[in-house]
Structure 1
Amino acid sequence: MFPALGFGAKLPPDGRVSHEFPLNGNPQNPYCNGIDGVLEAYYQSLKSVRLYGPTHFSPVINHVARYASAITDGSQYFILLIISDGVITDMAQTKESIVNAASLPMSIIIVGVGPAEFDEMIELDGDEERISSQGRYAERDIVQFVPFRDYIDRRGNHILSMARLAKEVLAEIPDQFLSYMRTRGIKPGPLPPPYTSCPPPAIHPLHTRRVSRI
């Protein structure tokens, strides 16, 4: 189950602009059943909302950060995937949100789609320079940015494999995960017992009864 949020749209019935709304329309339970459920919720949402700018990232980052801040013992690690075709318009607030989130068990993956300039998203990646906000630097790098257009041509044909895209999207997650655990002194738990596909059938004693002939 995956919680899926939308941002940058006017919502029914009053046209209120939202940058943090459940794609399935259920604020109490925004979870979707697998990737197919996320896609179905997205397509259904497009029938009822009107896409609307500007593009704000900070609300959805703060949304996930609230969950991550409640579980800091290493038992869970949160990954936020943001897919956007727009230029970030709340850059200062987004930097602040990332700096705050860098101390939490979470990572952020940003996939830029379309022809827009993604200079701000590249800046958020933090590979060259650590993100800072109001004089505070992010405790660690938690953002990975990937431009989707590098993997398709203008006609939508794949010029690089989707496996390579997946590899690039997830490339920094292991190090980001380990960096959080190490800075918090969280060590791996015990290994689970060996997996067996099917337990052997139980062997019951054979009960016999003597039949007498008359």
Structure 2
Amino acid sequence: MQVRPLTPDALGEVVAERVALLPQPEGGRPRIAQDGAPAAGTAPLADAVAEALRLRGRPVLRIGAGDFLRPASLRLEYGHQDADAYFDGWLDANALFREVFDPLEPGGSGLVLPALWDAAADRAVRARPVPLPPGGVLLLDGPLLLGRWLPFDLSVHLWLSAAALARRTPADQRWTLPAFARYEDEVRPTEAADLVVRADDPRRPALVVG
């Protein structure tokens, strides 16, 4: 196994090139995952990929998994700091299927709900569906995305060593660390993802090659 150090912008270009190489039916809309712990910085990478794709003339829809969480009554049923609930029950995967992935299936409407739930206010966002035209690209970023049968065409996992994850996770979020340890053990994201990036140094991410 080798690693290829890159700048964040160069990594965005690499991912965009992989998206361009994906086999797609005519009018298809590739669905891309940017997976990783919040400390890994999935959103900045998704922004870089989106910019690289737009420069190639591809429409892009950015969606954050944090806008598809379940209501607090369900997320916090076992308390505010239950790592197993965070792992199993915070993300509303059914809503993602219904509102995001199903419309992008062949013959689907292409109308995607960009956000469902405001977790801070604990209420529906009331967003309107937006069109993703044929050939457009969906970028979904957030933690714990793999192993849920979400139909990604390409998945990128930003990997942090246990030490870096603990160091870069804010004190008030360290209760989530057991969930990421469980993710490593049960889902094995470095094996499940199509592309793996070592992100211990956010200034110099390193693409795992081979």
* TM-score normalised by L of structure 2: 0.29
Greater fraction of residues in helix? 2
Compare relative contact order (CA 8 Å, sep 6+) and give the higher one, 1 or 2.
2
| TM, length-normalised to structure 1 | 0.28
Larger radius of gyration: 1
